[in-house]
């Protein structure tokens, strides 16, 4: 069975039933604005995550995944793009190019879909950072 492409499904729904689609779009989950707060969130992250299994690259990937999940969790399930400004701020924080951040986000999408232990680790770190 093929996985559901919610982006295509949404387009079809909008074309066939525009009134229903508009009602559903009004119930869209809120995007959280983290622009300007990423460095403070990163400081919390480094305090919580003292052990680095897999090295700093895995820690960077985990942090980017947490930021994307907090900003807009639908990025992982649909073809939706990340909110403007978040990618450039992450690139500035990690002193790398924006395309490197885009590649890491693509890797994060794959890891979240494939590896259950990665998902569990992200959920654990996310709850420790944002629910304390």
pLDDT in tens, 47-97: 888 766 667 888 899 999 999 988 888 787 777 777 778 888 999 999 999
The pLDDT of residue 28 is 46
The tokens 């649909």 sit on which residue?
78
What's the whole-number mean pLDDT along residues 99-121? Answer: 92
The pLDDT of residue 83 is 78
Contact 63, 42 (CB under 8 A): yes
Distance CA 124, CA 127 (A): 5
The pLDDT of residue 67 is 92
What's the whole-number mean pLDDT along residues 110-116? Answer: 91
User: Which two three-digit tokens encode residue 89?
Assistant: 């701020």
Distance CA 22, CA 14 (A): 8
The pLDDT of residue 66 is 92
* Helices 98-114 and 86-94, packing angle to 10 deg: 100
Burial class (CB in 10 A: 0-12, 13-18, 19+), 22: exposed
pLDDT in tens, 3-22: 778 778 778 877 888 777 76
| pLDDT at residue 27 tops 60 | no
The pLDDT of residue 100 is 93
Contact 126, 70 (CB under 8 A): yes
Band of residue 32 on the pLDDT scale cut at 50, 70, 90: low
Higher pLDDT, 18 or 113: 113
């Amino acid at each position: 069975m093929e996985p559901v492409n919610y982006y295509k499904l949404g387009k079809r729904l909008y074309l066939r039933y525009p009134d229903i689609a508009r009602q559903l779009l009004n119930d869209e989950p809120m995007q959280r604005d983290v622009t300007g707060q990423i460095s403070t969130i990163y400081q919390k992250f480094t305090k919580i995550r003292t052990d680095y299994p897999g090295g700093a690259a895995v820690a960077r990937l985990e942090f980017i995944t947490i930021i994307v999940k907090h900003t807009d969790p639908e990025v992982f399930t649909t073809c939706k793009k990340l909110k403007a400004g978040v990618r450039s701020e992450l690139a500035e924080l990690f002193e790398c190019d924006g395309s490197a951040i885009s590649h890491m986000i693509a890797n994060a999408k794959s890891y979240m879909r494939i590896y259950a232990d990665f998902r569990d680790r992200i959920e654990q770190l996310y709850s420790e950072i944002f629910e304390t």
